[in-house]
Chains A and B, each alone.
Chain A
Amino acid sequence: MHAFEERIAKVLSTDFEITPDAVDSDVTLALLKFDSLTLVELALVLEKEFGITVEEGELTDTMTIGDTAALVAAKGTAVR
């Protein structure tokens, strides 16, 4: 699993009580039960975790964990 995906999986486990077993590159946020409110919460947590800014509507429930990691990567975050 990509390093960003692993860190995202950790965030999902710590902040959203989603077991790492349920997280895979191809799993969509919708499948992980993210709704409009939890998507905003996820965006805020990702901002803090990766030191990035996530714009309104940038994170959607049709995105997979792989897409989410790609979004983080596109913002120029360095792998820690």
Chain B
Amino acid sequence: MSRAAVLTGLGAWAPPTVVTNEELASCLDTDDEWIRTRTGIRQRRVIAPGEATSDLAVEAGRRALKSAGTMTADALVLATSTPDRLCPATAPQVASRLNLGTVPAFDVAAVCSGFVYALAVGAGLIATATADSVLVIGADTFSTVLSPSDRATRAVFGDGAGAVVLRAGSPEQDGALLDLGLGSDGSRSDLIEIPGGGSRQRSTGLPTDLEGTYLTMRGQAVFAQAVHRMSESVRETGARTGWPLETVDRFVLHQANARILTATAKRLGQPVERFVTNIDQLGNTVAASIPLALADGVASGELLPGHRVVLCGFGGGLTWGSVALVWPQLNTP
């Protein structure tokens, strides 16, 4: 029997501070209707001053371990593009704070596709028998990289974390990751970027300009690329898994923008009702968005054991990826 990575625990955490559209409208040239009609977002969560990505990752990780009925994991993979510091990686601190001991722990940077990429890495660690269990976390705090005056990005992004526990098992088990397909296109790396603060800028010897450390996003092009790449990726994963898309019960896509989700559903010819969404409450939480949507889907009863589920991420890089699984029975905290 071949060895598969099986999802056995799920946890999520969003910081308690809520920023509503009305609050954004009080300091930016925007309003609730402008944001809602363009993004489907009503509010987002943000970290408190002094907090960091690891704080959210630890909370989500703790909940996922509890859900899996364990206190341990053989490895930790953290998907994030907003590490606590540029160096070192954030994952070792998270592992340490979760009392996981000296297990291998590292970050994966694939922006909004980060969680799917981290799942693939976790599944690889299990496939090679490097680990029997892996804690996979997606956590980001994009509120820390947004220009205070940019209504487009401030309306969209929020902070959060989500995590799953993968365990070695068999492909026949519910929760087994059945197909993982990843892709990238670095020729479009300019569509979503934080240009300053990295080696390209620092090697100039010039001081880092604050504006250059903020996220920039070319909205129109990102919209079209997201719909193209996610619909292709979902289609390929469905085909490789042998699941006609009509037989997929739930699609859990990166929560980028409600209209991107609708356009992707339309392109795939599948009813938007089968696409789990929580973007109205949390905005785009980057690497955390898929596990946060899974947690909300379970809590609302939208996502049930036995459901055929396809997860799909798309983000800066550009990067994208999908995974298929039959949703397992979980104890969610």
- A residues contacting B by CB (< 8 A) are 15, 36-37, 39-41, 43-45, 48, 56
Contacts and interface: CB of A to CB of B under 8 A. Distances in A.
State the 4 A-B residue pairs at the shortest beta-carbon distance, nearest first: A40-B223, A40-B220, A40-B224, A36-B220
A15 B266 CA distance: 10
Given A43-B224, A56-B221, 6 more contacts: A36-B220, A37-B223, A40-B223, A44-B227, A48-B266, A56-B220
**Which has the most chain B C-beta neighbours within 10 Å: A39, A40, A48?**
A40
A48 B267 contact: yes
A41 B266 CA distance: 10
Contacts, number: 27
A37 B266 contact: no
A37 B267 contact: no
B224 A37 contact: no
Which of B38, B219, B221, B223 is most buried by chain A, counting CB atoms within 10 A of its CB? B223
Contacts of B267: 44, 48
B245 interface: no
B224 A44 contact: yes
Contacts of B224: 40, 43-44, 56
B221 to A, nearest CB: 5
A14 B266 CA distance: 12
A45 B227 CA distance: 11
A40 B267 CA distance: 13
Interface in B211-233: 219-221, 223-224, 227
